[in-house]
Structures are given as structure tokens and as C-alpha cells.
Amino acid sequence: MNRNLIDIASIIILIAFLEIHFFQFTGTDYPLYGLLKLVITIQLIVPCWSVAFRVIDKVNCKAKDNVLIVNMGFNTLYSSENNKVDADFSTDNHLIANQLELEKALNEMLRISVKNKGLFTTAPLMAIKVDVNLLSEIEQKALVKVCISAGALDCIIVDSGVSESDIDRYVKNTTLSNFA
């Protein structure tokens, strides 16, 4: 589904929803209320499905010790053998340009992990693997904020060359924020 069309549809339906409530409060009869309510419900469900399908296609939902590793490469999705969660959220050469999409994907990934798989007993700690030379310090901080707002307990940015065993060692020896 075209993302722009979904955004436009969201705005149109939101306006219709507000109009319905306006007419309800003013006492005006609105004969299409039931139909519009159905359209609104469908419209709210479809974007969630589309995000879920995109994330499920890209994520290998495995976890251990409440550590979530997100691999942000440039079309370099890999599947881990070490009970980790790997994902490719690259957006060309501007990883932070699409923060909303990243946040939705992370939210959906955490929801799938917690609700369907029961992988995390608490909010996961996140380590994001990315070529740090491609991100400014401001972009790295912005990405950490996005991940925490998406439900992570704590988050760090690590270079794509750092091994998962190194991340595990740091997580066991210190809090993630101290490893930033």
C-alpha cells in the first residue's frame, strides 16, 4: 500500500470523525454516522496491518536476557543464530529522515515480541548496530530517543563491526546508558 495514500486517507477520515462528533454534540441528525464509523474502523486497522506485515517480513523475533539488537544496515539484513532480534530499517543514506516509520516498526516489533511470542518479561534493552560514520552525534541521540519512546528500557548505538558477544559482555557488566 502506498504510504502517502494511507496518510492522506488518515487525515480525511480523521476530519470525517471530528465532523461526526460535532454533529452529535449540536444535535444535528447525521444519517451516515454508522457507515462512516465502519469506514473509520477499517481505516484504523489497515495501516496497523501494513506496518505489521512489513516488520514481520524483516524481523527474526528471537531474544535472550531482554536484550534486543537491531541491525541497521544498508540492505544488509541478516538472521542471527544467537537468540537476538535483527532488523534492517535503513532509509537510503538518511537513517533518521524517517523517524516515524522507524518508531512504528519498533513499536510493532516490541508488540509482536511481547504479546505473540512472550519473549520479553520487561521492556528490552536495545543495541542498534549501524555504521556510526554515517550518523552525526545529533542523529545518534535522536535515534536513541526514538527507540526509548518506542518502548525500549534503554538504548545504545554501536558500530556495525561490534560483535553480539561484545554487546552481551557490556550489557552484563554495566547499564546500556553507561556504554553510550
CB 67 within 8 A of CB 47: no
CATH number at residue 152: 3.40.50
CB 99 within 8 A of CB 76: no
- 120 and 64 co-located in one domain: yes
User: Which residue range(s) make up the domain with 44?
Assistant: 3-57
pLDDT, one tens digit per residue, over 108-124 is 555 555 554 444 445 56
What is the enclosing helix (H) or strand (E) of 6? helix 3-26
Give the pTM. Answer: 0.40
Q: Given 57, 80, 102, which residue is the final one in a domain?
A: 57
Using the predicted structure, report yes or no on whether residue 66 has a pLDDT greater than 60. no
Residue 83 Ramachandran class (φ > 0 left, ψ -120 to 50 alpha, else beta): left
In Å, how far are 15, 47, 90, 92, 95 from 4, measured between CA atoms? Answer: 17, 11, 19, 18, 19
- 41 and 110 co-located in one domain: no
User: How far is 154 from 145, CA to CA, in rounded Å?
Assistant: 9
| pLDDT at residue number 34 | 59
Band (128; pLDDT cuts 50, 70, 90): confident
Q: Which residue has the higher pLDDT, 155 or 104?
A: 155
pLDDT, one tens digit per residue, over 92-112 is 433 344 455 555 556 655 555
Among 131, 52, 53, 125, residue whose Cα is nearest residue 85 = 125
| pLDDT at residue number 57 | 36
Helix (H, G, I), strand (E, B) or coil at 26: helix
Q: Given 21, 42, 57, which residue is the final one in a domain?
A: 57
Using the predicted structure, report yes or no on whether residue 159 has a pLDDT greater than 70. yes
Distance in angstroms between the alpha carbons of the first and the last residue of the chain: 37
